[in-house]
Amino acid sequence: MTAIIPLFEARGIRKRFPGVIALDGVSAFVNRGEVLAVVGENGAGKSTLMKIMAGVYTLDEGTMLLDGRDISFRNVADALQAGICLIHQELNLAENLDVAANIFLGRERLWGGVFGWLDRRAMAREAASFLSRVGLSPDLVDVQVGQLAPGQKQLVEIARALSLDARLIIMDEPTSSLTSGETERLFEVIDDLRRSGVGIVYISHRLAEVKRVADRVTVLRDGRNAGELERAEVNHDSLVRLMVGRDLKQLQHRTRRLEAPKPLLEIRDLRYRGGPAQGISLTVGAGEIVGMAGLVGAGRTELAEAVFGIRPIVSGEILLNGKTLSIANPGQAVAAGLLLVPEDRRLHGLVLEESVGFNLSLPNLDRLSTRRIVSRSRERTMGLALIERLRIKTPGLGKEVGLLSGGNQQKVVFGKWLARSPSVLILDEPTRGVDVGARGEIYAIIDQLAAAGVGIWMISSDMEEFLGMSDRIVVLHEGKVAGELNHGEFSEEAVMRLATGVS
């Protein structure tokens, strides 16, 4: 019997960066018409492997084969020429250009040769065929990308990959900003691509998605192969065990439940600019974890931003420990001990080009300075203590924070606020894009803060997360509080009935 030659194969891949071995002899393969899921904790080496496959990085050791033949890429253009396309988690689209222009960006169709003018009609015609293939309306070719929904943007990226004659498409956390409906549509497109013989490498922290979409799973841990599972073997516990090297029961996070705590943060009939006409009221007790649920667009993030001083308040009151606060900007919220871990850490929580030490120190300079001169010794002492306390995986304080894994970046965001001893911590999607092992560590941090009397207001779209972590759940629907659930009333059905406006 003739052996099946994989579409793509990586053998013994090694990659080093200053102070860290990112990949240490990793091997993986994907067949034609197969979806290979690559999973692992943040820092396991998934993104590094994908970037080597796509020509972003060059490998230090090992070999890559395409159709059984040795290949090497000097850059992304080489990989695209070979039919390998990487779709990043942060989509690479020009939002000010229309869909057709994005699909052919850098490969524009021209009249009259190289020095001719754009053949927009040809581009629109070809783009329409690729949009139809991914289930989008051909009428979108002239629509500006910035006007599209996140799910539509994701499909435009796939259409662009198809326009490049991609034989292997790598998707990095493709559903991180999609609704459940958009996610299901993406899965249908993946199924179509699989049937047409395209190979898919699918990276995700959402293990339920992996079980739904993957034909086979390769698990990485600490830059090495941890194991491989066939479709029939894939389940939540087996994936977690391979990813973190320990049993799922060791990742349980809550140590207690709190009933009827003393009110710490009180929001009374609050209205903010751009929000609903009806005021919103909410309380968070000392040591209590209040989960906030709701569908996309329910106004959860907007409410948190208003309380933190980002969005102007129109009317209502905010009280902390019974005293009315006047919050017109984030600086006043921080001074009061009311702190926000934002939904998008890379955009709003970190200065990616700066070091770990810089990011930990930035909001704490007043506490590290004497007569406006920063004490470098105090800064270093604080930074090292936070790295140890939060178990941040970094070679040192000088490491550029943008080069850390997602979970470790999130710990840095937590760390910069923990140094200020918060009274109330608002967490907006605290484990978005974070693997299951780092999640367990973040949950433990949240639990410890609550045990120390910090009020936790946790906004989450992860049903398992807020059901497992909350003492009480408040559900928003169309900007208004639709209902509240105490711990004994928790269920997925109860949350969804409130979130969808069912009385």
**Using H for helix, E for strand and C for coil, what is the string for 139-195?**
HHHHCEHHHCCHHHHHHHHHHHHHHCCCCEEEEECCCCCCCHHHHHHHHHHHHHHHH
Model pLDDT, residue 55: 93
425 contacts 417 by C-beta, under 8 angstroms: yes
Between helix 406-418 and helix 436-451 the angle, nearest 10°, is 10
- pTM value is 0.62
Indicate if the pLDDT at residue 321 is higher than 70.
yes
Confidence of residue 248 (pLDDT cuts 50, 70, 90): very low
**DSSP per position, 280-347:** EEEEEETT-EEEEE--TTSSHHHHHHHHTTSS-EEEEEEEETTEE---SSHHHHHHHTEEEE-S-III
pLDDT digits (tens, 9 = 90+) for 412-451: 999 999 989 999 999 999 988 777 777 888 898 999 899 9
Model pLDDT, residue 225: 94
Query: What is the rounded average pLDDT of the residues 249-271?
Result: 74
Model pLDDT, residue 411: 92
Model pLDDT, residue 163: 86
Say which DSSP state 246 is in: S
Confidence of residue 251 (pLDDT cuts 50, 70, 90): very low
pLDDT digits (tens, 9 = 90+) for 342-381: 988 888 899 999 999 999 999 898 888 888 888 999 999 9
Q: What percent of the chain has pLDDT over 90?
A: 48
pLDDT digits (tens, 9 = 90+) for 53-91: 999 999 999 999 999 999 999 999 999 999 999 988 777
186 contacts 151 by C-beta, under 8 angstroms: yes
Ordered structural domains, the chain, with CATH: 8-248 (3.40.50.300), 252-337+422-503 (3.40.50.300), 349-420 (no CATH)
Strand pairing of 8-17 and 20-30?
A: antiparallel
Indicate if the pLDDT at residue 1 is higher than 50.
no
Query: What is the rounded average pLDDT of the residues 169-175?
Result: 87
Indicate if the pLDDT at residue 498 is higher than 80.
yes
> Which one, of 59, 81, 79, 67, lies nearest residue 12 by Cα?
59
Query: What is the rounded average pLDDT of the residues 136-142?
Result: 89
Q: Distance (Å, rounded) from C-alpha 387 to C-alpha 408?
A: 10
Between helix 180-195 and helix 150-163 the angle, nearest 10°, is 20
42 contacts 58 by C-beta, under 8 angstroms: no
Model pLDDT, residue 323: 94
Indicate if the pLDDT at residue 402 is higher than 60.
yes
Query: What is the rounded average pLDDT of the residues 262-284?
Result: 92
Say which DSSP state 460 is in: -
Model pLDDT, residue 112: 62
Query: What is the rounded average pLDDT of the residues 329-340?
Result: 94
Return mean pLDDT, the chain: 87
Strand pairing of 313-320 and 263-272?
A: antiparallel
